[in-house]
Structure 1
Amino acid sequence: MTPPPSVNSSRAPMVNGFDPADVDRLDPQVAELIQRRSKVFGPGYRLFYREPPEFVRGEAAHLFDADGNDYLDVYNNVPCVGHCHPHVVEAVHRQMQTLNTNTRYVQRAVVEYAERLVAKFPSELTRATFTCTGSEANDLALRLAKYVTGNEGVIVTEGAYHGLTTEVAAISPSLGTGTPLGRHVRVVAAPDRRTAPDGDLAAEMRRRVRAAIADLHRHGYRLAAFVADSIFSSDGVFADPVGFLQPIVEEVHAAGGLYIADEVQPGFCRTGQSWWGFQRHRIVPDIVTIGKPMGNGIPIAAAIFRPELIEEFDRNVRYFNTFGGNTVSIAAAGAVLDVLESEGLLSHADEVGQVLRGSLEGLIDGHSTLAEVRGAGLFIGVDVVDGAGEPDPVGAADIVNSLRDRRILISASGLHGNVLKIRPPLVFNDADADRFLTEFAAVIDGRD
């Protein structure tokens, strides 16, 4: 008998979200704009922070409001090479004046970009399909995995987010109880080494995935794919110890499934040391999906495949994306690669990230409500806990909004919404780090 649909665990509200009931407390001009917005936007749109800022300009890791106030952006990974990077702006502007069409015409720029892109991946991954969003890329990856394996079962982590199409929303527990998981979906606990017996996280993750596969089999499903982002950002940022993903790959392949690495958040040098987060764990996925930072804010995404997987799919299944790989988006994406390479942002992310993590560890020492600093490169999480050591989403929201009041922008994530999410543009420099650390110290000292 097939079980009822899996339902994601109850989740805390958006901890850095604006409550519309507070609109009258805001500056009258901002309040009026928010009220107008609520009359024409769909109800799913949310605003950040208890007092939502209105930005009119961006540069590098900085955003500016109408009064010229400078906010330090320590959150946005989409403008990965910085807000309004001049090289990206110029490339998009030039291309808009020249041509913008689709991949059904022969275009040298699209081919050359695809060659540059796949050269950044392990040699086993050589085929790219362009989409507009990470959701579309993950949707395509799942579609191919089910076609190739002939199976339906999917395993994800309990706080995962992989997108908003019907297919990927059904494997995204972080969307909350209003979006039930599919009957074919099983979740495993996040890779938190503190929950692993004897500290052996690799063995514990193998056990969890093996149990999930067995449960799928018991209910009539065979495994099509395990899907994970390698920094486990929505689960609460889990990067170490390096190597805990390898036994998962082995279990997935033994069960006839594919490993899909969702690199939308940890990719494009974000985690330092390697271009892609999965490379830190010395694994080669079967499919990789990328998006958001790829065009520095211009919509473009892709799925990267092992060629033997996609050949039959391409022969028998029609897939085309009108705007995926359009000429202007490709120009933006090519410019992003130029900047990542010419400005050495891979090593920069690693070096600045190490300084940030080390400094944060020193700052939280002695603060009983800050429990642990985790991460890699410029993707960092900090646990906020209460006096009993339990997750404290209210405390996290207070820190996020107190920093916003000091014009520092971060967010929070995790299964309980209690993990501070620190993920600035990759051009975040030493002066930016000093400013952030100074304001962070002032906020946490003020909570004692």
Structure 2
Amino acid sequence: MELRSHNDRNQMLGIFEAARIVPRPDHDQVIDVRKLHLGPNVAINYAQPLQIVKGKGCYLYDQNGVEYLDCVNNVAHVGHCHPEVTAAVCEQLQTLNTNSRYLHPNLTMYIKELLQTLPPALETLYFGNSGSEANDLALRVALEARPGATHVAVLAGAYHGHVESLIGFSPYKFWGKGGRGKPKNVHVMPCPDPYRGLNLDGRRCARAVLEAARQAGGRICAFYCESILSCGGQIVPPEGWLKDVFDELRKEGVICISDEVQCGFGRVGETFWAFQSQGVCPDMVSIGKSIANGYPVSTLAMTRKLAQDFSRAGMQYFNTFGAGTAACAAALATLRVVKEEKLQEHAAQVGPYLQSELRKIQEDFAMIGDVRGLGLMMGIEVVQCKKSKVVAPRLATWILERMKARRILMSTDGPYDNVLKIKPPMMFGRKEVDTLVSNLRAVLSVELTPSVFDKILIEEQKHAIDIVHPRKAIYDENERRLYAGLLAADHYGHLSSSGAAAATSPAGFARPLPQHSMNLLEAPMQRHTVEIESLSEAAASQPPMSRL
């Protein structure tokens, strides 16, 4: 057999061109096979799924060549099929693809260039294949570094990965549809909500979870936090909030982990990592999704001391594909494209323009409650009306589908799925902003007629009974229990800063907990009919749905 030259890129691309002419199954055949043989709960977008067969830059193409503007795929960070990244991977695959047990310059070069983007204290790296692997590894490191501390704190609405350990750290999952409830060693810190003015005291939130762990007989080992919450609804914490949380937790030795899988790598524009925009330096940073433009690579960065604690027992760390030669080629090429094409600076310029154009829409339409974000990570909160701020997930889904019909691809997130999220490839420019905004305005002004809106509101009522109210009852009960425990501790002097929380606590949190609700947080997601009725009595001092 004749060996092909490893350096013949034209020949390589010719092979790819030949592969493209192989007949593909049609749309219906693809759906049929998927339904028959793929797991029935594997996620898919849209009521009528798209068959996407090609991508380039900010655009995707279906089997008929129809072009769609991709406003949400943050995995293709530097653009779908960026030629430099594609070439780097292909050339490396033609030369060698093996694991990190052998020395290779790709890994060395990538380590040096990636560390230049991180604070000096974060000087040690471990590699894996996904953000889930990075966050799971962070737990292993934290447990070794804090023997005897087995509890974990997370933010409400957070998602940190699909593996078993991380489902238990992800309220987005364990309090979502099909979730099994909160593990007893996990404490859910209330998420700051600047839009509604809730949970804006970071120190109080931190002290509440510390006290909850103490009352449960444990100590918090680690705190996981996205610097900007993605699945939580594109929430940007208020200035100083995250620093206050870190400072309070570190008094008790808690290891602070920044999950930058979705929000990092230049996306926020003003800083390379989103945690830098919050004025903090975490103890560990998990990085994934975007860092190799779609090739499966993740990294966990940490202090040298944590790495020494992790290695002290002598167990080797090895990941079959983590830091493999092709993976490093993809990651190195992606990082260099970010720098050479000045994509962070681009996000810093285009992001404010995107936000200002979306806020014009917010001013003109009553169902657009909030526009928030940094750089090219933006959220649009859809509500039933601005005054009540009642969430409107069915309306958000309707908007999503109408935008898809206009060949604009978006998605929804947040605990109630009422936030339209925008996290496009990083070369998303003013032209793409104008296309997105003009089509969104047309959907809201032309297609959302009064009769359509009234019909959607009827759907919202049923959805609220089935999904929103039960989920809200769980999140509200979590907050109530946390703050009640903190008040009790302050009253009896369990915490050193006794009395600080009592002065700022909203009315009602100091009342005894209803006996029936003690297991509500640990129960699987369902229609908690009895609980909702009883909890409404406890919340009688607040207007109905005011917290939504």
Aligned to 2:296: 299
Equivalences for residues 385-400 of structure 1 within 5 A: 385-387=383-385, 388-400=388-400
Q: CA deviation at 1:36?
A: 1.2
Name the amino acid aligned to 1:364. Answer: Q
Counterpart of 2:191, as a letter, is A
Checking the alignment, whether the CA contact within 8 Å between 1:412 and 1:420 is kept in structure 2 is yes
- Name structure 2 gaps, 5 residues minimum: 1-24, 450-548
* 8 Å contact kept, 1:273–1:350: yes
Residue 413 of structure 1: aligned partner: 413
* Structure-2 residue corresponding to 1:171: 169
CA drift of 1:178 comes to 2.2
- Return the match for 1:48 from 41, 45, 48: 45
Secondary structure, aligned partner of 2:95: coil
Aligned-partner SS, 1:365 = helix
How far does the alpha carbon of each residue in 1:112-154 deviate from its partner, in whole angstroms, 9 at most, with x for none? 1111111110011000000001101000001111110121111
State the alpha-carbon separation in 1 of the partners of residues 361 and 368 from structure 2.
9
Identity among equivalent positions (%) equals: 38
Amino acid at match of 1:162: H
Confirm or deny: 8 A CA contact 2:205 2:245 kept in the other structure.
Answer: no
Q: TM-score, normalised by structure 1?
A: 0.91
**1:330 deviation in Å?**
0.5
2:261 to 256, 260, 264: 264
Q: 2:51·2:63 contact (CA, 8 Å) conserved in 1?
A: yes
Looking at structure 2, the residues matched to 298 and 263 of structure 1 have their Cα atoms a distance apart, in angstroms, of: 17
Please tell me whether residue 356 in structure 1 is matched to residue 357 in structure 2: no
Contact 2:361 2:368 in 1 (8 A): no
The correspondence of residues 7-406 of structure 1 with structure 2, limited to 5 A, is 29-150=26-147, 151-175=149-173, 176=176, 177-196=178-197, 201=200, 204-316=201-313, 317-387=315-385, 388-406=388-406
How many Å separate the matches in 2 of 1:322 and 1:358? 46
Q: CA deviation at 1:185?
A: 0.3
Other structure's SS at 1:52 match: coil
How big is each residue's C-alpha offset from its partner over 1:28-84, in whole Å with a ceiling of 9 and x where there is no partner? 943332121111112231210111111111000000112111100000000000000
TM-score by structure 2 length? 0.74
| Paired residue type of 2:250 | H
CA distance in structure 1 between the partners assigned to 2:269 and 2:185 by the alignment: 35
CA contact (8 A) 1:243 1:280 kept: no
SS at match of 1:97: helix
Structure 1 contact 159–174 (Cα < 8 Å) conserved: yes
Letter in 2 for 1:266: C
Question: How far apart are residue 205 of structure 1 and its match?
Answer: 2.1
Taking the aligned partners of 2:180 and 2:347, their CA distance within structure 1 comes to 35
Please list the CA deviations of residues 249-300 of structure 1 after superposition, one character each: whole Å capped at 9, or x if unmatched. 1111112211000000011111111111000011000000000001100000
* Cα separation, 1, equivalents of 2:202 and 2:414: 18
Unaligned runs of 5+ in 1: 1-27
Contact 2:192 2:238 in 1 (8 A): no
- Partner amino acid for 2:330? A
- 1:196 Cα deviation from its structure 2 partner: 4.1
Contact kept? 2:391, 2:416, Cα under 8 Å = yes
Contact persistence 1:223–1:257 (CA under 8 A):
yes
Letter paired with 1:282: G
In the alignment, the residues of structure 2 paired with residue 168 and residue 80 of structure 1 have an alpha-carbon distance, to the nearest angstrom, of 24
In 1, Cα distance between equivalents of 2:408 and 2:364: 23
RMSD: 1.4
